[in-house]
Amino acid sequence: MAVCSPVHADERGRRRLDAKTRSKTSRPSLACSIRTESSMDYSDILYETDGRLAFITLNRPEKLNALSNNLRGELMDAMREAEHDDEVGVIVLRAQGRAFSAGYDLTPSRAADDDNFVNKRSHLPETGTTHPGANQWARHVVMTNWTIWELAKPVVAAIQGHCLAGGTELATACDFRIVTHDAKIGYPPVRAMTTMDMMWTPWHLPPCKAREFAYVGDSFSGDDMVQLGWANYAVEQDELADFTEKFARRMSHVDNEMLMYSKRAVNRQYETMGIREALHSGTEIQALSAARAAGAEWGRRVREDGLKSALEWRDGPFRDFRGAYDSAPKDRAVAGTTREEKGGSGDY
């Protein structure tokens, strides 16, 4: 069985190698024969196929694969590329570097002219709503993730390192999740920013753990998430690529139409239980949480002190993520209280 070796960080875009015509001297470092090409080049992901599998790799390791608008646009385009390839039966979503994804990219967006997979007016991917109005973000990302739900082909996510915030939403939209034992899965934005954009926890976790995940933002290990039922298997870091490929290739022995009907049969049960309405209603709560009195404090700190400082302020009292740095505050005021009442080191 062919196994795809890890790709290098500087190998941007997609490979254009024909397995039937390439010479031995022109063999790529990634041992996957490439059949599929698109009319567009990708800058933030890699796309390749090997037999019945399509591999999509998040390729912004220097940014911990933060989900920029262009990356998300490329990702959904690649998903559709695999969807329309009759030789592909299963899609594997993986990530380059030490993290699956640190979440949505909070740094200023590049100019729309630099991105080929975004709407030129809204700078959002051409998936879901691209309405530029206030409080549309959560609705947009939920509609984007439905793209994966609606695919006829199953998607297997291979998750290592940090899988945070929007990264958890992307992973949850996939059909299967293989994690490393020490992966860190969490949603720290709920500490000071907004509620979860896609409120998936009640659908995948026991009630008390769904609340813990959604209220506090602490991370759970890969082992924890297997025990809770969110992930299928936990493996060692050096086994992740091989195990995930074996898992996906075993599934690919089933014909495409059967996989499609099985996926739709399972999805239909969740839809009958109301998952679509529930996730979309969660976007309305997210919009309300953004408008709360304390919601402006996060934005003010980003503007005045910079993103890294704002993240340290957010996570400081929790002593994890950016809060683990010595420069992070160990305490801070809580919105709606005075410094004296809560002993915070700052105020609103």
Q: Cα(277)–Cα(68) distance, rounded to whole angstroms? A: 26
Residue 298 pLDDT > 90: no
Identify the bridge partners of residue 118 per DSSP, sorted by sequence position.
125
Reading the block at residue 156, the tokens are: 């297997």
Domain CATH number, residue 167: 3.90.226.10
Residue 161 lies in a domain: yes
Residue 232 lies in a domain: yes
Higher-pLDDT residue of 233, 323 = 233
Residue 282 lies in a domain: yes
Residue 343 pLDDT > 70: no
Q: Count how many residues are written for the chain.
A: 348
Residue 177 lies in a domain: yes
Residue 302 lies in a domain: no
34-48, 53-67, 204-218, 223-237, range with the lowest pLDDT: 34-48
Identify the bridge partners of residue 47 per DSSP, sorted by sequence position.
56
Mean pLDDT over all residues of the chain? 84
Rg for the chain, CA atoms, rounded = 21
Residue 112: predicted pLDDT = 52
Q: Which of 180, 190, 184, 224 is nearest to 204 (CA)?
A: 224
Q: What is the pLDDT of residues 109-124, one digit of tens each?
A: 555 556 778 777 777 8
Residue 164 lies in a domain: yes
Residue 331: predicted pLDDT = 82
Based on the structure, what is the number of domains in the chain? 1
Q: What percent of the chain has a predicted confidence (pLDDT) above 90?
A: 64
Q: Which of 310, 313, 307, 306 is nearest to 331 (CA)?
A: 313
Residue 180 pLDDT > 70: yes
Residue 346: predicted pLDDT = 39
Q: What is the pLDDT of residues 266-289, one digit of tens each?
A: 999 999 999 999 999 999 999 999
Average pLDDT over residues 252-264: 98
Domain that holds residue 72: 45-105+134-291
Q: What is the pLDDT of residues 189-234, one digit of tens each?
A: 999 999 999 999 999 999 999 999 999 999 999 999 999 999 999 9
Residue 180 lies in a domain: yes
Residue 18 lies in a domain: no
How many CB atoms are located within 10 Å of the residue 147 CB?
Answer: 19
- Beta-sheet pairing, 220-221 with 53-58: unpaired
Residue 321: predicted pLDDT = 82
Residue 59: predicted pLDDT = 97
